[in-house]
Amino acid sequence: MCGIVSERLIKDLLRQSVLVLNEEQAKQPSDDAFDQLERVDLSAIIRFVNKAGLLSDGARKAAEYLIQLRNKYAHARGTSPKADALDAIKHLHDVVEGTVSLLRDFEISEVGLIPRQRL
């Protein structure tokens, strides 16, 4: 489930962020156009949104880990379901923090929430 949620978050991030120039007007592609990406390898989409600056390296690594973990269990190679489930939740949290979290640009300090320093 963590892999499915992560995949949806990444694809929705792409949907929210992409504009195409069509007849000299920038607009979002239609849902039918975005539906064509459902068959594109998720790893490629993750790399694209990362290189486009929409997804941090940490969230990228977490999303890629979830793909590997999902594949491991989809092909009956998983041997530690409880430990892997807990690990998947941690990695999903990293994806959430890197995509939809309202607090991703802030950190907690002694005085409360402050803007995160960008390098």
- The pLDDT tens digits for 38-97 are 889 999 999 999 999 989 999 999 999 999 999 999 899 989 999 999 999 999 999 998
Domain encompassing residue 97: 2-115
Q: Residues 77, 80, 82, 85: what is their CA dihedral angle, to the nearest 10 degrees? A: -50
Q: For the whole model, what pTM was predicted?
A: 0.77
Q: Is residue 27 predicted with pLDDT exceeding 70?
A: yes
Residue 102: its pLDDT value, please? 57
Q: What are phi and psi of 76, to 5 degrees?
A: 55, 40
| pLDDT at position 100 | 78
Domain count of the fold of the chain:
1
**Which pLDDT score, from 0 to 100, does residue 119 have?**
45
pLDDT (average), residues 20-38: 90
